[in-house]
Amino acid sequence: MRILTAGESHGEYIVSVVEGFPKGVQVDEKAINEELKRRMSGFGRGKRMSVEDDRVIIVSGLRNKLTLGSPIAMLVKNKDVKIFSQKADDLASLSVPRPAHADLAGALKYQEKDIRNILERASARETVARVCAGALCKQFLLNFKINIASFTVSVGSICSSLRPKNIL
């Protein structure tokens, strides 16, 4: 299976394409939207989270809510659109990379003087596409009664003996 993502943080859409997904799997769009909503909760979320109301639009790969075996394309529309693929925007060029982000590495790799072209792609907003793909895969795994769970075991030298219920 291969997952491709496209779109910019302040572009019109974030896109997720899942290739190699099995045929005949029932897909519930509502379940994907619930995962997108869950993404917006928790600690460390910026102001942007209160602006967006993420909802998936499945545009290919399904018929009558069943997968066809062809690539599945999912879109999530951005409300906070500032850059456009087919017309000029009025955003200033940026040349100072943000600490702890992919700005500098991307600018060096692509020999880019305007770091905005990197940071628009390398942003937390891009995780929307990954959540869509993950939510789709979770629905496939439910056919085999496989659930996904995650938790933090340690941070540095601080360890927790607590575990979520139903986890060994």
Give the tokens for residue 91.
């955003």
User: What is the residue extent of each domain of the chain?
Assistant: 2-83+122-159, 93-119
What residues pair up with 159 in beta bridges, in sequence order? 154
Tens digits of residue pLDDT in 93-116 = 999 998 888 899 999 999 999 998
Whether domain 2-83+122-159 has CATH 3.60.150.10: yes
Mean pLDDT computed over 112-125: 87
Residue type, 66: L
Task: List Cα–Cα distances, 127 to 18, 133, 156, in angstroms.
Answer: 14, 10, 25
pLDDT band at residue 167 under the 50/70/90 scheme:
low
Residue 45 above 60 pLDDT? no
Which tops the pLDDT comparison, 152 or 6? 6
Please tell me the pTM assigned to this model: 0.83
pLDDT at 46: 60
Judge contact between 127 and 19, C-beta under 8 A: no
